[in-house]
Structure 1
């Protein structure tokens, strides 16, 4: 997007370092997993020890997490011009002309983000009610995201063909999207709880000398719970009347 950007020109990039404590814990956990992955073939004489796939899988997840964090911190950014908004994600970028932007809203982050992560994130809603994260336009990189978004909308008003007015159709689409996200988030938390229950069941099988079903208990059952419960909750939210 080019053209005369004027006073609306803004670029939001990483200004503060990522939470070092969280990164340190991730490095310790992942490093331990990678270390164990190097000796997956060394089981004790009584047959106990993690299966071959477990430490290796954790090591792969750890590496992928570090790569994702690095891309978020070094590559991702949000650019605002007179033409519209461009969001450079971890790997690809997307652009919206101002005519395609329905609203820009500051919303609370997930409670699991931690005390060192952002508490408020900013999202772009397009005219079809779809939500898109505006990278680094949050309370960790910007002092007051509410004031920043208000100023941004005011500066962008001359470049829009439509006023910042609510549309019942788009608001309904936004509500449905929020209900879907809530359904799958709840399903994720439930699957995590099931994982810990299955971990306890596996420990009981080890203590009592029963045959172990580690892959089924720790992988298949939580994933099945996530998929089934998420689909049920999403369907239930779609049937709820609009308030």
Structure 2
């Protein structure tokens, strides 16, 4: 938390705080990252591994990912003040005024591993959309629940209403949650399709066939993802009828 004194004050305008990275990533995560990067460099250094034009594309993509990761760490933060909440990522800045904010909620991290935060904080707007608040989690904050409760209390005056539940918004939140769950369930199948398409592309390259990288590595996985997400969402809407 950006609790350096000047960023944590309540002068009648509400608590103003800035949350940024205070604790570094765990050693296990760093070791895993170095292993992945080392394997990538090793594969790209082999002259017979991948044709030169595809090797260049892979290097460019990896470099772009690295730049994004560095900027996300250096620029990423959440700012809470009298005007509302602001989040900053590698390239994007988002702002919400307090009257547009429905709730701030601590939720379990669905993809949590041993080196990840167990609980994350999300902002919900009045239409039920949610956004994660960077660095407002139990890895950076010793008492996340108390921190979020403090933000609720200190900034309630700026909303012009209490933090009460509204049934219509709760319905939209559940609907969007079902859509997110369907998209998450579609990811493993999409990954399988991607690697299958990649294997087929390599077969085309090594057999001197006419390769179609754009079709195989982009169009086919995206199509598979859309179909799988639609299928899982359809199943989730049908589930209550069989309960």
Give the shorter-chain TM-score range: 0.7 to 0.9
Identify which range, 186-195 or 9-18, moves more after superposition: 186-195
Please state whether the residue corresponding to 2:102 is helix, strand or coil: strand
| Offset of residue 220 of structure 1 | 5.9
Change in Cα spacing, 1:172 to 1:183, as seen in structure 2 (3 Å) is same
| Offset of residue 75 of structure 1 | 0.6
Identify which range, 142-151 or 225-234, moves more after superposition: 225-234
**Structure 1 equivalent of residue 67 of structure 2:** 67
| Offset of residue 236 of structure 1 | 4.2
Please state whether the residue corresponding to 2:134 is helix, strand or coil: coil
| Offset of residue 73 of structure 1 | 1.7
Change in Cα spacing, 1:11 to 1:5, as seen in structure 2 (3 Å) is farther
Please state whether the residue corresponding to 2:163 is helix, strand or coil: coil
**Structure 2 equivalent of residue 184 of structure 1:** 183
**Structure 2 equivalent of residue 16 of structure 1:** 23
TM-score, normalising length: structure 2: 0.77
Let me know the Cα RMSD of the aligned residues: 3.4
CA contact (8 A) 1:36 1:55 kept: no
CA contact (8 A) 2:77 2:89 kept: yes
Please state whether the residue corresponding to 1:181 is helix, strand or coil: helix
| Offset of residue 234 of structure 1 | 3.0
| Offset of residue 197 of structure 1 | 6.3
| Offset of residue 108 of structure 1 | 1.3
| Offset of residue 103 of structure 1 | 0.3
User: CA separation in 2, counterparts of 1:56 and 1:21?
Assistant: 30
Residue correspondence of structure 1 range 58-137 to structure 2 within 5 A: 58-111=58-111, 113-137=112-136
**Structure 1 equivalent of residue 7 of structure 2:** none
CA contact (8 A) 2:44 2:50 kept: no
| Offset of residue 202 of structure 1 | 9.1
User: CA separation in 2, counterparts of 1:59 and 1:108?
Assistant: 35
Change in Cα spacing, 1:201 to 1:91, as seen in structure 2 (3 Å) is closer
Identify which range, 26-35 or 222-231, moves more after superposition: 26-35
CA contact (8 A) 2:123 2:130 kept: yes
Unaligned runs of 5+ in 2: 1-10
CA contact (8 A) 1:71 1:90 kept: yes
| Offset of residue 88 of structure 1 | 1.7
Q: Which of these residues, 2, 24, 32, is aligned with residue 25 of structure 1?
A: 32
User: CA separation in 2, counterparts of 1:95 and 1:218?
Assistant: 35
Please state whether the residue corresponding to 1:137 is helix, strand or coil: strand
Please state whether the residue corresponding to 1:135 is helix, strand or coil: strand
Identify which range, 171-180 or 5-14, moves more after superposition: 5-14
| Offset of residue 228 of structure 1 | 1.4
Q: Does 1:168 align with 2:167?
A: yes
| Offset of residue 239 of structure 1 | 6.0
User: CA separation in 1, counterparts of 2:147 and 2:79?
Assistant: 14
